[in-house]
Structure formats: structure tokens, C-alpha cells
Homo-oligomer: A and B are copies of this chain.
Amino acid sequence: MSTAGIVVIGNEVLSGKVEEENARFLIRELRALGVELMRVAIIRDELGEIAREIKAMSEAYDYVFSTGGVGPTHDDVTMEGVALGLGVPLVRSAELEATIHAHFGARVTASVLHMADVPEGTALLGQGTMLHPITRVRNVYVLPGVPEFLRAKFNFIKAGLQDRPIVLRQVWVRVGEDAVGDHLREVLAAVPGLEIGSYPRFDTPEFKVKITIEAKDAALVDRGVAELLQRVPPGDVVRVE
């Protein structure tokens, strides 16, 4: 099972000026792909912080997706941060430079050309299908912060990330977490390898807790549901899906 981390880079998200929607998109996509997301960090446009987070996630997980901080403005320091985090120099990509010249023509400025500076060893993907190709350094995909560009790039990448999806079953009960907490602990002990969640709701009369039972192995999940239903009195069960 592949694992992943997400680094959202941008003071504008932390300050609430721009609502976060890239991590939200990626969370849904990774779930659908069966990739296990281990951590999301929303951090400032600061070299040291970017470098630390990228290094830690790149070493710990199979894939890292960064978003934001790759444009031409003064606060776009993601590429420098990724280079620092992975311990490689920032180098000018001749291919990206040519793409930028072709697009901007006489309007090229130093700021814009800075977008051709990438960590050494960067692979470019998707050339010809999009204006600015996807940049990948080792297992780190360095993606833009503009949501429509991020989505287009991720849709291109995701064919390569397919994994076995997670099987999810759900049990709704009309009793509170206090009544089922011990049962869940027992099911977990009886069927190792499951992931079990319980989510109380107080704004509906229909049920009090939704219990989720998950694993990549459907047989394991079925055993977990059976173990649970042996423990919860039938009258307390609202629905099983």
C-alpha cells in the first residue's frame, strides 16, 4: 500500500485570505486511488520550513505533493525550499526556459525566468499537453497553488499512482460512543489490521454513532463487521452497509 504526504505552501491560506481547496481535492483523489495519506502540513512561504517538511515527508512516504509557491512573485520560494530539503542545488532548466520564452516572447522578465529554476534532477512530465509541465524531484511532485492548474496536473499524474482501493463498511447505531467504545477495542484486538472509526452525531434522531470498518482486504472487513454485530445488541443497530 502506497503512502503519501501533502505540503500546502502559502501564507494566504494560513491567514484565511484564500480558502484551502487543494488539500481537500487531493484527499478525495488519494482516497479513490487507495493511496494512504499520512499527513498534511499547511505552512508559510519560508525556505527553512519548506525544506524541513519536504525532507521529512520525502524520506517517510512513497509520494509527496506540494502545492503553491511556484509562480514568478517574491514569495514563490517553493523550488528553493525543495532543493534545500533534498540537498541538491537549484539549476536553470533549458527546457523550461525555452517554454517560457516561447510563451512570453518580448514580455519575458527576470521574475518570469525564475520559474525555469528547479532542483537538480527534476523530471518534467506532460510536455505538450499543458503550458507549464509537471515538475517531479525524486518522489516529490511540485504542483502549483492555482486550483484549476493543480487539478489538471494531478489528473495527468494519477494514472501512475493506482493502488488497491480501501474497502469500507459502515454500521450506524442508536447508542452513544460510551456504549460501543469497549466493543470496538475488542473487535480491533480480534481482527488485527482493520482500521475502525466512530463518529458521533448529535443533530439527527436517526442514529448516535456511525462506525466505519476499513481495510484493503474485503474478507478482513467482513470479519470485523461480523465481530462487531456479535457484540452490539441487535436492537441498537440502525443500519449496516
Q: Which residues of A contact B (CB under 8 A)?
A: 11-20, 23-24, 27-28, 30-31, 36-44, 49, 71-75, 104, 107-112, 146, 148, 166, 168, 177-182, 184-185, 188, 195-200, 202-203, 212, 214
The answer on a CB contact under 8 Å between A181 and B212 is no
Complex CA distance for A8 and B185, rounded to whole angstroms: 23
Q: Contacts of A214 on B, CB cut-off 8 Å?
A: 15
Complex CA distance for A24 and B137, rounded to whole angstroms: 30
Instruction: Point out the residue from B36, B39, B182 that lies within 8 Å of A41, measured CB to CB.
Output: B39
The answer on a CB contact under 8 Å between A11 and B197 is yes
The answer on a CB contact under 8 Å between A166 and B74 is no
Q: Contacts of A20 on B, CB cut-off 8 Å?
A: 23-24, 27
Q: Contacts of A44 on B, CB cut-off 8 Å?
A: 38-39
Q: Contacts of A74 on B, CB cut-off 8 Å?
A: 181, 184-185, 188, 196
Q: Contacts of A200 on B, CB cut-off 8 Å?
A: 71, 146
The answer on a CB contact under 8 Å between A104 and B14 is no
A39-B43, A42-B40 given; A72·B203 CB < 8 A: no
Complex CA distance for A111 and B73, rounded to whole angstroms: 53
A75-B197, A177-B72, A181-B73 given; A15·B31 CB < 8 A: yes
Complex CA distance for A51 and B196, rounded to whole angstroms: 22
Q: Contacts of A30 on B, CB cut-off 8 Å?
A: 16
Instruction: Give A209 Cβ to nearest chain B Cβ, in Å.
Output: 9
Instruction: Give A167 Cβ to nearest chain B Cβ, in Å.
Output: 12
- A–B Cβ pairs within 8 angstroms, 9 of them: A12-B212, A15-B37, A15-B166, A16-B28, A17-B212, A39-B42, A73-B184, A111-B185, A148-B202
